[in-house]
Structure 1
Amino acid sequence: MTIKSNIATLAGRSSYWFLHNVLKGGTSFPGKLAMQIDPDVLQQLGRDYETIIVTGTNGKTMTTALITQTLREKYGDILTNPSGSNMAQGIVTAFLAHKSKKGSRKLAVLEVDEANVKRVTQLVHPAAFVLTNIFRDQMDRYGEIYTTYEKIVDGIKLAPDAKIIANGDASIFSSVDLPNPKVFFGFETSQDKPQNDLKAAVNTDGVLCPKCNHILHYHCISYANLGDFFCPSCGYERPKLAYKLEKISEQTPSRIRFTIEGQEFSVNIGGTYNIYNALAAFATASEFGVSASEIADAFAKNKRIFGRQELINYAGKQIEIILVKNPVGLNEVLSLLNTEQDHYTLAALLNAHHADGIDTSWIWDGNFESLNKEQIDQIIVGGERHKDMHLRLEVAGLDPDKMITEPDFDQLLTAFKQAPNDKIYILSTYTAMLHLRQVFADKGVLKRRIN
């Protein structure tokens, strides 16, 4: 290490120790401080690690957690950024916090923001890129899906020997000719959709052929623009899948059972989108030498991670916090809620900071109309843009007499305590989720706060 990087590392680790042992929080400040001293400190911190970069629009945090858990079954010690702090300063913090065990294989699994892939790749020289999906998201930051993918590709081009492990059901991921070795995962069959000639819904983004701009067709669609696609004009089609989902046996809000490559797996979390996350983890772990039985053990141990279907018990209520940030993810969460068999209280918290996306018009592309409204006994609306959310839900047909508005995050806990149901589902944007978790932490409900 250089003198500058040594000083940066010492300052970063000292600040991390103070924040986590005295203030009980802080996921990005130590990295920010270290980078102010040495902007390239990550190059030194990550030089001995085989690094896996996980990126894409939805599912990065859960996929990173599942990959990390599966690799730990075989290799034990894995460096990762579990808080979801996925920009450069958060990644530097993860390296500062990690104490590598002597003799262990040095592996790092990093969730990386799409716009930061190039910068991180310049510094850590990844062994693999895991690509989850690309949907319209925070268009003020990323633009259209093609510009988002271009940002990712710019990073991949800096590491031509790194393996690409990509969602083959996303047509964009096989559209650019890259020299990297590639493996694709996807849904081989669909239990409730026949193998024929289908088109995605008219308001679905990313359904033009990346090669000739003709409308893509599908043999089957899992959700949104993901599926077994083909172009009737130029012949572009889904690449051959190395890892395939073969069967979905069970789907509830809290559990999924499914079969990959002839073996059944289960994870204690709901949603079709999380099957893709598990499939990505299966593919990655397999490529790194983890056996199917070890992967099954890891999936069975999987814990809820903060803000991503995280379960909190408070005042006799089972509260589930689900991050929502774009129409596709929101619609999948709404589908998840419709698998709930019991009556419940729905909370919707909307903020519009930079990390959320400052344009909230995306909530109008969410299909709130699809909710089984008879099961919802109360709706709690909050966040800084609570008026926008209240209007959207009222237009969607939810009963305004069942709605209460509570913009004060501290008072939300009282509203949850007084809710008529034992089950509460909270749909929340990113900064609103962080604020709510901080309130829970301040009340002693959670052990630590996320800053």
Structure 2
Amino acid sequence: MSEQKTDGLRGLRYFFPVVAGKAVRALAKLRGGGSAFPGYVTTKLAPHFLRDVTGQFRYGIVYVLGSNGKSTTTHMLTEVLRGHGLTVFTNPSGANLPQGIASSILAESSVLGRVDADIGVLEVDEAFALEFAAAVPPSTVLVLNTQVDQLYRFYETERVADMMLDTAQQAGLHIVTNREDPYLSKIARRYVDGDSTTAPDITYFGASAEVIARAPHGLFNAKDYRDQAVQAESHRALAELVATDRAGATITVDGTSVDVTLPAKGLHYAIDAAAALATAAVILGERFDGASSAAAFAAMKPAYGRGELLDFTNRDGVNEQVEFVMFKNAASLQLNLDALPEPPEQVLLAIDEGTPDISWIYDIDFAALDHVDVITGAKAWQIALRLEHEGITIGVVEPDLKKAIDIMRALPRPSTGLKTWIVNYEIMMLARKQIGFLELENQR
């Protein structure tokens, strides 16, 4: 039987599962957002759908794993590869569980189960990555960092690192990891006694000693990361961050300097950029071009909810903007606070039940803030207590997000026209919807 006829039969096999999933997705969008259920429907009807669709990609599948920075780095890598002429499939920010990824693939698939892409770049939740790799084998795995995060879910940081390293070993071609992370930089040890002829190549990204020394609270594990970095394995970094300011960074890629414009402020975004460039370089090989990469960064918009500037109209009908500063844990909150150029003129700060235990806020240095106008979310009073101990002036504590946004809307227009909302992931999604941005899927 000819290859064309075989493809046709396979396509017919997927016709009903794909149409059923797309119908469910259309209904979900009518309700005001994305959903993982369409992917569940399709994969139940066609268990091999994901493997067959992603198996069409010429450069395979890239997994992006890490405690922080997955969405941003996925976005950066996607845009750099597109800047080199590749057609890239990627999952919307936050859709990093298997069913959510399936729904994302379904959205781009034809009714015959084909996706027009050269490569897939997927943000994957570390807890489900190894299981997902059995269905969708990665060609490349990028591992960003390990931090104290979601201990109610993972219990120990080292356990999370082992999850990511186990998944990294499923890579068919390339592993890219953080030289400065004492957990992740030891990946090469896992191949010492194995068959090196079948092992993927291992590549590192990192930061220069000068950059690390200037970081006020370390790189990733907040205050203690600078000390931990000394314990990391010593390796040459293919991509190394050598200089950064609030808007850009200089990264050497295999000895050649690449100046990039960052899509959002902060040292952590510069490290993410180094990770993206290292990964692009190993995927593209001789096709990698520093100028094309720099151009991609210059045109890049912030990833969904990470430094986004969204239009906002105050009570008087005057146009303003909201800058979303999103955090997940102590490390990301501290690094985002460190990145503020000056105390924001108007600030909303919020954490909800998506972060069950927020006792770590007592380790945070809030010196970057001189006041907070509104504190909201289910954990509002816990935050207020912490800021009171810091001596930071608080305007209003209003746990109800809608009422809190109304209070922010009633404030006079700041001189910069910019309101800063420092929020965790769940609050970010809800707040975007409440100010009129109903689509949860990031359009890239």
Query: Structure 2-normalised TM-score?
Result: 0.83
2:397 is the counterpart of 1:409:
no
The CA distance in 1 between the partners of 2:303 and 2:331, in whole Å, is 20
Q: Which deviations, in whole Å up to 9, do the C-alpha atoms of 1:258-308 show, x marking residues without a partner?
A: 343323221232000000111111111122223111111110111122211
Q: Specify the code of the residue in structure 1 equivalent to 2:233.
A: E
Change (3 A) 1:327 1:228: closer
Aligned to 1:258: 250
2:168 is the counterpart of 1:170:
no
Aligned to 1:294: 292
Segments of structure 1 that go 5 or more residues without pairing to the other structure are: 207-221
2:271 is the counterpart of 1:247:
no
1:65 aligned counterpart, secondary structure: helix
Aligned to 2:105: 95
Residue 164 of structure 1, CA deviation? 0.6
Segments of structure 2 that go 5 or more residues without pairing to the other structure are: 1-9, 192-198, 314-318
The CA distance in 2 between the partners of 1:386 and 1:363, in whole Å, is 12
The CA distance in 2 between the partners of 1:438 and 1:10, in whole Å, is 28
Aligned to 2:24: 15
Q: Which deviations, in whole Å up to 9, do the C-alpha atoms of 1:159-209 show, x marking residues without a partner?
A: 4x3311111111211224233310101112425838xxx9x98xx997xxx
Aligned to 1:59: 69
1:83 is aligned, of 89, 93, 100, to 93
Aligned to 1:113: 125
1:282 is aligned, of 277, 284, 309, to 277
| Number of aligned residues | 406
Is the CA contact (8 Å cut-off) linking 1:166 and 1:184 kept in structure 2?
Answer: yes
Is the CA contact (8 Å cut-off) linking 2:208 and 2:241 kept in structure 1?
Answer: yes
Is the CA contact (8 Å cut-off) linking 2:312 and 2:435 kept in structure 1?
Answer: no
2:34 aligned counterpart, secondary structure: coil
The CA distance in 2 between the partners of 1:37 and 1:104, in whole Å, is 22
Residue 334 of structure 1, CA deviation? 1.1
The CA distance in 2 between the partners of 1:116 and 1:3, in whole Å, is 30
The CA distance in 2 between the partners of 1:244 and 1:192, in whole Å, is 11
Is the CA contact (8 Å cut-off) linking 2:17 and 2:45 kept in structure 1?
Answer: yes
Aligned to 1:213: none
2:377 is the counterpart of 1:386:
no
Identity rate, percent: 24
Residue 23 of structure 1, CA deviation? 4.2
The CA distance in 2 between the partners of 1:418 and 1:111, in whole Å, is 38
Residue 134 of structure 1, CA deviation? 0.6
Residue 28 of structure 1, CA deviation? 2.1
Alignment of 1:37-436 (within 5 A): 37-38=45-46, 40-49=48-57, 50-99=60-109, 106-159=118-171, 161-176=172-187, 177-178=190-191, 179-190=199-210, 193=213, 224-225=224-225, 229-231=229-231, 237-248=233-244, 250-251=245-246, 255-260=247-252, 261-289=256-284, 290-315=288-313, 316-337=319-340, 339-340=341-342, 343-352=344-353, 356-368=354-366, 370-373=367-370, 376=371, 378-399=372-393, 402-420=394-412, 421=414, 422-436=417-431
Aligned to 1:32: 40
Greater helix share, structure number? 2
RMSD, matched Cα: 3.0
1:288 aligned counterpart, secondary structure: helix
Residue 112 of structure 1, CA deviation? 0.4
Query: Structure 1-normalised TM-score?
Result: 0.81
Change (3 A) 1:223 1:296: farther
